[in-house]
Amino acid sequence: MRRLSLHATRFLVGTPVSANTLTGLMILTGLGAAAVATVPTLWAALLAAAGIQVYLLLDCCDGEVARWRGTTGPAGVYLDRLGHYVVEAALLGAIGLRADAGHPAGWTLLGLLGAVFVLLNKAETDLVGMARASAGLPLVTDAAAVPRTAGVRRARSVASRLRFHRAIGAVELSLLLGVAAVGDAFAGGLQATRVLVAVVVPLAGVVAVGHLLSVLSSSRLR
């Protein structure tokens, strides 16, 4: 998508559209994709996955436009991070609602629990910077992020190689939804979507807990 965004950015810098406006469009596109994902049909899942690709494209373009124009700043960073919080949580909640065929019940609650795990995982990263700033400490270094406990350090290394945490990201999750929707279309029903929710939500919980342990066992808060 970065290769495509460079061409889009070349066009956008010649327009009055600001980087923050692109970020706003990114958020709206991502939320729109999440809303479409709640519809329990194959075409809705594929359209949601395509919408998330546009969301990714805009995510690339807003930063490129800001850097090209020299308009980077905290407002843009804030809006961008907020967008990722909202869209990634909304998508997982939407897939839970889809698993209930659009009628909120147990799968919807499970999807919302997964959304909480997604938000917690992101907050664990951002709160490190806030805590250090409140204590008058400089930005955390890469060396400080390494856990001091050998067991946690090994677990972090394995997780980093397997990259299973990426399954809860909006782009990867939308693609998994597309695969599940194809399975649903062949089998007739929503069993594949429900399997996806049943796997991804506990995974999101493991990622959130593992991330918290990694932060607390490192020197990031020292």
Confidence band of 215 (pLDDT split at 50, 70, 90) = confident
Asked whether residue 123 carries a pLDDT value surpassing 70, the answer given is yes
Q: At what angle do helices 150-162 and 191-216 cross, to 10 degrees?
A: 140
pLDDT > 90 in the chain, percent: 72
Confidence band of 2 (pLDDT split at 50, 70, 90) = confident
The pLDDT of residue 1? 87
Alpha carbon distance 180, 79 (integer Å): 31
Confidence band of 7 (pLDDT split at 50, 70, 90) = very high
The pLDDT of residue 28? 97
The pLDDT of residue 105? 93
Alpha carbon distance 21, 167 (integer Å): 28
Cα–Cα distances in Å, from 163 out to 128, 159, 177, 209?
Answer: 22, 6, 18, 15
**Exposure of 202 in the CB half-sphere (CA atoms within 13 A):** 5
The pLDDT of residue 213? 87
pLDDT, tens digit, for every residue of 126-153? 998 888 888 888 887 776 677 777 777 6
pLDDT, tens digit, for every residue of 21-35? 999 999 999 999 999
Average pLDDT, the chain: 91
Asked whether residue 222 carries a pLDDT value surpassing 70, the answer given is yes
The pLDDT of residue 144? 67
pLDDT, tens digit, for every residue of 148-158? 777 776 776 77
Is residue 16 exposed (0-12), middle (13-18) or buried (19+ Cβ within 10 Å)? exposed
Q: Which domains does the chain have, with CATH numbers?
A: 2-216 (1.20.120.1760)
Write the DSSP symbol of residue 103: S
The pLDDT of residue 53? 97
